[in-house]
Structure 1
Amino acid sequence: MAEWLPTTTSINRDGYQPRHRTVGAAMVVMAMAERLLPVMLKVQGKRCVVIGGGEVAAQKVQQLLECGAEVVIVSPQVNDELKALAQRGQVCWLPQPYEASVLDGAFLVFACTDDNAVNRQVFADCQARRLWCNVADVPDLCSFFMPSILRRGELVIAVSTSGNSPAFARQVRLFLENLFSNEIGALTSLLGELKDEIRQKLPSIPARRRFVQRVWESEIWRHLRDGNLHAARETLRACLTMTATQQGSGDEAEKDNEDGV
């Protein structure tokens, strides 16, 4: 794997600041791409419209169903997978060509047809209605991108190339799958069980970070690999008690300067 050296910047006569990194003897120049805001959306019970009935549409539909969305498929024809979902009542299939009215009440919209004109029309209609829209494989017609997802229980890791190469995002996700075992998902759930207690006993962010590091370096991984959740919980509580008794006076000063848990 190439070793990336520190980024340097320079300003050309047009005021543009290209970023470039030196890799061996080669200079790689990277355009100042639009920076995206990663978010985790709650779509439970939300109307999500998928335009199209092929394999790509089916992938989007499955992802939405996994998150509890109410999925509406709009396409004169759909593949067998989508047809089976409709027959089981898991999705609503409108067997018709696209028209703007199908967007009424939508939370998210996905255009997955093989007709560029239809995809562009869907995006334009969404723009007019201020709806989030994703047009498959056309980054310029997307107000959001779908990352490649790695799930380990309640731990979710999303990998995105900002629309540059979904295939590469998938490759990175496959690499990460070898790094994160199922035990990390179990630990995430255990931390969720104690979330309120952790916040009560460790009111400062620095203390919570020390707690998590102590847990990370503990014997909890062995207990999780053995399937011994009782021992894992006891280890978690021991780490919590130890961290709570070692809180410093400086922690409170940092409490109001940091966000999150």
Structure 2
Amino acid sequence: MAEALLPVMLRIAGKRCVVVGGGEVAAQKVRQLLECGADILIVSPALNDELQTLARQGRICWLPQPYDPAALNGAFLVFACTDDNEVNRRVFADCQARQIWCNVVDVPELCSFFMPSILRRGDLVIAVSTSGNSPAFARQVRLFLEGIVGDEFGRLVALLGELKDAMRQTLPTFEQRRKFIERVWQSEIWAHLQESDGDAARQCLRQCLTAVAQRDARDGETQGCEG
């Protein structure tokens, strides 16, 4: 069994992320980074058509030269995506010396972090990782989950975000909020979400919130009368 890894969600908007390489694998990493608002520098003598277009649009910065350690200055994350193993190893070693997180694609022993296979439904993000053992299997699990977790899950997360402040005021403890989510999960809200009926879904959430708050209030009164 591989060493235990700590799953985290990173805020990288506006942070410098360096991608070394200019082919399809590099383009895949760039697409993921763009989704998160990263400040992307790509280092490669040449780029594929997709990356050239992004560079012309000003969505990424392109340093048209072979890898140089100076490109790592100010980097938060680094991805080594070249087809030259020696270059990839140098990138990783330089990152280690600078204490920068680095991912050398498909070389687990040269990674300080792994990129999971990601399923997004709005603000709901499900990340699947095999700890570097088999990215292809992680992808297959993600495809399986895509058939189970539909867009309605993302809609529910968005509505819960709208209700977050009221929920914390009405249900101040984690246990109360857990009961609320369990009640929501078993409610008729899913039908409203699948029909994209936001008003009905909001009303259902408010009813669940009120029901849990009232039940806890009654339980508290009962306990206060005991003895």
TM-score range, shorter chain: over 0.9
**Partner Cα separation in structure 2 for residue 54 and residue 95 of structure 1:** 13
Partner of 1:235: 204
Q: Structure 2: give runs of 5+ residues left out of the alignment.
A: 221-227
Q: How does 1:125-204 map to 2 (within 5 A)?
A: 125-204=94-173
1:53 corresponds to:
22
Which residue number corresponds to residue 39 of structure 1? 8
Identity %: 69
Gaps of 5+ in 1: 1-31, 252-261
| Residues 86-139 of structure 1: per-residue CA shift (max 9 Å, x gap) | 001000000001011000000100000000110000000000000000000000
Could you say what secondary structure the match of 1:224 adopts? helix
TM-superposed deviation, 1:203: 1.0
Q: Does 1:112 align with 2:81?
A: yes
Report deviation, 1:206. Answer: 1.1
Q: TM-score, normalised by structure 2?
A: 0.95
Going by fraction, where is helix more abundant, 1 or 2? 2
Supply the distance in 2 between the matched residues of 1:246 and 1:41 (Cα, whole angstroms).
Answer: 38
CA distance in 2, matches of 1:43, 1:77: 26
The answer to whether structure 1 residue 103 and structure 2 residue 72 are counterparts is: yes
2:36 aligns with one of 34, 50, 67: 67
Question: Corresponding residue for 2:54?
Answer: 85
Q: What is residue 223 of structure 2 aligned with on the other side?
A: none
Name the TM-score, length of structure 1 as normaliser: 0.82
Aligned to 1:122: 91
Runs of 4+ displaced beyond 6 Å: 248-251
Q: Give, in whole Å, the separation in 1 of the partners of 2:184 and 2:197.
A: 16
Output the CA distance in 1 between the equivalents of 2:71 and 2:198. 48
Label 1:128 to 1:250 Cα distance change in 2 as closer, same or farther (>3 A).
farther
